[in-house]
Amino acid sequence: MKIQNDLILRAARGEQTERVPVWVMRQAGRVLAEYRATRAQAGSFKSLLKNPDLAAEVTIQPVDIFGVDAAILFSDILVIPEAMGLPYRMDEGKGPSFDNTIQSQRDLDKLSNDYILENLTYVFDAISVIKRDLNDRVPLIGFAGAPWTIFCYMVEGRGSKTFSLSRAMLSKDPELAHALLARITDATIVYLKQQIACGCNMVQLFDSWAGILNQDTYVIFALPYIRKICDAISEVPLTVFAKGAFFSMEAMSSLPCRTIGVDWHTSPAFARKAIGSDKTLQGNLDPAVLYGSDEFIVEQTHRMLEAFGPQKYIANLGHGVYPDIDHNKLKLFIQTVQAYQFNRS
């Protein structure tokens, strides 16, 4: 089946596009009254993501309302540790928390990768509903957390400013860290392959906590596992978004993936120089720009577009949209990208 608007897929493959495609991290979410209504109906964040019909509904809302060039599966990166045997709670305003964490080989031995697909049926069911209702208008993006970020939550048990427990394990017990990272990597490959089998047209790895490492530790504990996932996923284009990892941008240039996400701290020129001319870049408007006036948003968006250029580029924010942003400001960002004409020979 041919996707009607396949701009993002073509951009990800490095093919020519007539205009720059755009989607937004966390486009399905609290900025939309429609999302808030569906979530209220579900009762909680976790009930929402475990209900295939409602998860499909919020996945498609931004396509209908904003006219973005792709839908992204509504889910959560922490479904993987849960499917491995480490359940978590999501408390309103407090973020995720795990009752049990991984501190030893014995903790690790309690986990299993044997039931990943079985435990995540609700995700694959949601993808089927989305694909049916989306009706090939735009591509559907699947996703997972990168192993290092999932590791952080499994060791720390919650969000943290420093993730010092997780980083402590890298210093104290690197063998255990590698064993856990390898296990997460295997689960993630199974998970992404099934997302693709169910109809996801491209996938993204979110390394949300990349920025709490440095070049040395990222190359040892994060990149090899991302590389393994990239090697395993050849069916669709894959994007790697390592937030805060300016220090490993050059190392990431050799990853066997098509697109590299750029956070808002990293300038387009820095990213292009580090990554080289082959890959597609994605990003990177400062989400806080959307607090500004319409004129400011348009001006900053134009600036971003000129800095990245018209090809091998997917426009996005440099991180997820903040939940208190006026959805009209987000719409303005999207429309500004879609209407932009480059003056280039």
Please report how close the Cβ of residue 274 comes to a copy of itself at its closest, in angstroms: 11
Nearer residue to a copy of itself within complex by CB, 139 or 318: 318
Of 87, 69, 58, whose CA–CA distance to 20 is shortest?
A: 69
Decide if 52 contacts 126 (C-beta within 8 A): yes
Torsion angles phi and psi, residue 202, rounded to 5: -160, 165
Please report how close the Cβ of residue 149 comes to a copy of itself at its closest, in angstroms: 14
Q: How far is CA 159 from the centre of its chain?
A: 17
Nearer residue to a copy of itself within complex by CB, 16 or 293: 293
Spatial neighbors of 60 by CB under 8 A, at least 6 apart, are 71, 130, 133, 134
Please report how close the Cβ of residue 326 comes to a copy of itself at its closest, in angstroms: 11
Structure token pair of residue 80: 């993987």
Please report how close the Cβ of residue 170 comes to a copy of itself at its closest, in angstroms: 7
Nearer residue to a copy of itself within complex by CB, 171 or 343: 171
Q: Tell me the C-alpha distance between 260 and 272, whole Å.
A: 10
- What's the Cα-to-Cα distance from 330 to each of 75, 129, 285, 307, rounded to whole Å? 21, 26, 11, 20
Nearer residue to a copy of itself within complex by CB, 8 or 325: 325
Torsion angles phi and psi, residue 50, rounded to 5: -95, 0
Torsion angles phi and psi, residue 264, rounded to 5: -80, -5
Which positions touch a copy of itself (CB under 8 A)?
A: 159, 161-162, 164, 167-168, 170-172, 211, 213-215, 217, 244, 246-247, 264-267, 270, 286-293, 296, 318, 322, 324
Tell me the catalytic residues. 26, 30, 39, 76, 153
Q: Tell me the C-alpha distance between 178 and 217, whole Å.
A: 12
Decide if 281 contacts 262 (C-beta within 8 A): yes
- Phi-psi label, residue 93: left if phi above 0, alpha if psi -120 to 50, beta otherwise: left
Nearer residue to a copy of itself within complex by CB, 90 or 168: 168
Q: Tell me the C-alpha distance between 243 and 283, whole Å.
A: 11
Please report how close the Cβ of residue 249 comes to a copy of itself at its closest, in angstroms: 10
